[in-house]
Amino acid sequence: MKIGTPKEVLDGENRVAMTPDSALQLQKLGHECLIETGAGDKAGFSDAAYEAAGVTVVKTPAALWKEADIIAKVRIPTDTEAKRMREGQTLISFFNPAENDKQMDALAKKGATVVAMEMVPRISRAQKMDALSSMANIAGYRAVIEAGNNFGRFFTGQITAAGKVPPAKVLVVGAGVAGLAAIGTSTSLGAVTYAFDVRPEVAEQIESMGAEFVYLDFEEAQQDGAATGGYAAPSSPEFREAQLKKFRELAPEMDIVITTALIPGRPAPVLWTRDMVEMMKPGSVIVDLAAERGGNCELTVKDDKIVTDNGVTIVGYTDFPSRMAAQASTLYATNIRHMMTDLTPGKDGAVNHNMEDDVIRGATVTHAGEVTFPPPPPKVQ
Ligand code: NAD
């Protein structure tokens, strides 16, 4: 099959879904690779590097979409791109099917197959294709780097001839994939790091990374938010009050707060309120990784950075993986190449879109003229 990657058209999207390395692996599966000219430029991959890896560079998006049997890209297609899709063609990209039913219907009607990367089931066997996790890992790391860039002091404590420097205090709210990456980065830079999550089972992971788990003074503390499937559920009003009370105690002490708290299918819970921001010291920094879904901090401005009257910087960017386009593209292209490995069991360039396979079935949102979203729950955990 011919796998083609177009240049991303969304403003500010620097990632690319195929790298020269991933193309070499795709060719070992018996596929041919195509790339639109300049598609890798913003991620540091030149046309020449692709050509050296055996990839055909195609001059226009129209030619790329026409020639490829499988389109691998980062973002959901725009209307113009979707119009280019045809019967029997396969798209592999982020798609957010729960919020894009019109696009899904249209592509199903055309007879195109859509594999939505965020729908890869989060089971052990599929970890190598889990693009949500690979991107969340980058976002967590970059959140700390961004915080450091806006913070006027060291993370680590130092005793120097010019004086004693106390370590920065960092609080990470939410310890999923992004939160754990932020905790690891923060402790490795030497900050005294605290972390909170509604799921009590993450306390051990947090502590094993050298951070301190924040416990609440609440009878059913940290029992309330745990839900099936490893994801959080909304907290009870009492639990939330206990959580906010604890955060109010911590706010004056924290130099950096990184929030990553999300509940599947809902707006982000507001956990860092205006009065907490007002209690923080001038020069403190908040990085809100939940900005895309409304923000965990009451004052976050999505896609922007603001400085409050009391001198607290609040970063609400939603494009952290794209800000590390080389790394993000490398990991995302690897996720895609693993998806292609499962779709090419014979390593003979022939795709077997096996809807009996839990992972392929879970990620496929349109196939054979039908919308196949939502999928049934996976059989194997
Ligand atoms: P997510 O992005 O949905 O949420 C981020 C974190 O916010 C979660 O840890 C959640 O518990 C926390 N949170 C929600 N409400 C909160 C609140 N009020 N206060 C504080 N924290 C709050 O989560 P994610 O990163 O996608 O990970 C979710 C789970 O899935 C984790 O258990 C993770 O280990 C698991 N996971 C498993 C696999 C796998 O097995 N392949 C892969 C990735 C993630």
Q: What is the pLDDT of residues 197-225, one digit of tens each?
A: 999 889 999 999 999 999 987 765 555 55
Q: Which ligand 1 atom minimizes the distance to the CA of 230? A: 32
Q: Quote the pLDDT of residue 377.
A: 79
* Distance from C-alpha of 78 to C-alpha of 273, rounded to nearest angstrom: 36
Q: Using a 6 Å cutoff on CB, does residue 262 contact ligand 1?
A: yes
As a whole number of Å, the end-to-end CA separation of the chain is 31
Amino acid at 181: A
For ligand 1, pick from 122, 247, 271 the residue to mutate: most ligand atoms within 8 Å of CB: 122
Distance 258 CA to ligand 1 centre (A): 15
- Each residue's pLDDT tens digit, 255-270: 999 999 999 889 999 9
For ligand 1, pick from 117, 120, 198, 297 the residue to mutate: most ligand atoms within 8 Å of CB: 198
The three-state DSSP-derived secondary structure of the chain is CEEEECCCCCCCCCCCCCCHHHHHHHHHCCCEEEEECCCCHHHCCCHHHHHHCCCEEECCHHHHHHHCCEEECCCCCCHHHHHHCCCCCEEEECCCHHHCHHHHHHHHHHCCEEEEHHHCCCCHHHHHHCHHHHHHHHHHHHHHHHHHHHCCCCCCCEEECCEEECCCEEEEECCCHHHHHHHHHHHHCCCEEEEECCCHHHHHHHHHCCCEECCCCCCCCCCCCECHHHCECCCCHHHHHHHHHHHHHHCCCCCEEEECCCCCCCCCCCCECHHHHHHCCCCCEEEECCHHHCCCECCCCCCCEEECCCCCEEECCCCHHHHCHHHHHHHHHHHHHHHHHHHCCCCCCCCCCCCCCHHHHHHEEEECCEECCCCCCCCCC
Counting as low any pLDDT under 70, the low residues of the chain are 219-230, 378-381
Q: Using a 6 Å cutoff on CB, does residue 229 contact ligand 1?
A: no
Q: Using a 6 Å cutoff on CB, does residue 362 contact ligand 1?
A: no
Q: Which ligand 1 atom minimizes the distance to the CA of 199? A: 11
Q: Which ligand 1 atom minimizes the distance to the CA of 226? A: 11
Q: Using a 6 Å cutoff on CB, does residue 72 contact ligand 1?
A: no
Cβ atoms of residues 353 and 360 within 8 Å: yes
* Distance from C-alpha of 151 to C-alpha of 145, rounded to nearest angstrom: 10
* Distance from C-alpha of 323 to C-alpha of 343, rounded to nearest angstrom: 30
pTM for this predicted structure: 0.95
